[in-house]
Amino acid sequence: MTRTTTIVGIGEALLVEAPEQEEIGGIAADVSIAAVMLGQHGVAITRLGQDEQAARVEQSLLAAGVDVAHVQSDPDLPTGRKVVRMLAGARSERLDARSAFDNLQWDFDLEDIAARADGIVYGLLARRDGQARSTMDRFLLAASSAVRLLDLCNRDANLMPERLIAVRAIESAQGIATDAAALRLLLPGDPAAPLDLARRAIREWRLRFALLLDGGTLQGLTPDGIAATIAQVPAEREVVARIACLYGLLLGRSMDASIAMAERVASSVSRLDGAKVSSELLRG
């Protein structure tokens, strides 16, 4: 029987107001829910306001089986909110300005979960404010035994972050999930293809692995080379695919085996709702 791992999502948890329905999102929510769906201990670390939106976000996390013991409450700032609109067939997103997740605070409970975490996923969006950046960096430093995955695809849809923010973030990572745009932010002026850029990123930041998302595919790289397996992953299932791949690596599986498992999981999941995937899909 495979062991249960603790996978932490740290950063923003948002209320997403989309045309079809209201839902929760953000890396802290998405990662922890995906971990639960894989039968793992999913932990969300974020900060919510003291408002009705916070209650809805926390209730959704609880309903999905997420550990919310490290979700903080802010008396002054509102819960993060993203508004999604479809205009003339084009999708637009607007993220509220300073929100509760920007004010994430350090406490010794975070030090405790950092020591117990097997895998940690963080992104760029919650690093827009210095307070949250400082807390996240301290947490990552305390999590010395965890596999730390920087999701470079987690960023504002309307505005690329400053390169320095991305570079500082990658310095705490052992692996990255990335697309071509993020690689070109990290490595400006290099005209190489995305796979070659990912290989260069592994060398420059001494990473253990990279997960490259490119046109609906997921491919893994290690310092030893490119995994032969290429997973077909629809955009709406990219998060669960990334977490499935991370889970495989936590179990000590090869990159090829982890990518193959990610594809199986992604093909079976319709949405992030905490519903457990079949254990058959998780076999090595």
Residue 6 pLDDT exceeds 60: yes
Note the pLDDT tens digit of each residue in 112-165: 999 999 999 999 999 999 999 999 999 999 999 999 999 999 998 778 899 999
CA atoms of 13 and 54, how far apart (whole Å) = 9
The CATH class of the 1-173 domain is: alpha beta
All CATH 3.40.1190.20 domain ranges of the chain, comma separated, are 1-173
What's CA 22's distance to the chain center, in Å? 20
Give pTM, 2 decimals.
0.95
Residue with tokens 């009705």: 52
**Mean pLDDT across 235-239:** 88
Highest mean pLDDT among 15-29, 47-61, 85-99: 47-61
Question: How much of the chain exceeds pLDDT 90, in percent?
Answer: 83
Query: Is residue 91 classed as helix, strand or coil in its secondary structure?
Result: strand
Beta-bridge partner residues of 68: none
What's CA 134's distance to the chain center, in Å? 18
Query: Who's near 270: CB < 8 A, 6+ residues apart?
Result: none
Written as one letter, the residue type at 52 is E
Query: Is residue 8 classed as helix, strand or coil in its secondary structure?
Result: strand
Note the pLDDT tens digit of each residue in 189-212: 999 999 999 999 999 999 999 999
Report residue 86's pLDDT band, with 50, 70 and 90 as the boundaries.
confident
Note the pLDDT tens digit of each residue in 153-181: 999 877 889 999 999 999 999 999 999 99
Residue 1 pLDDT exceeds 80: no
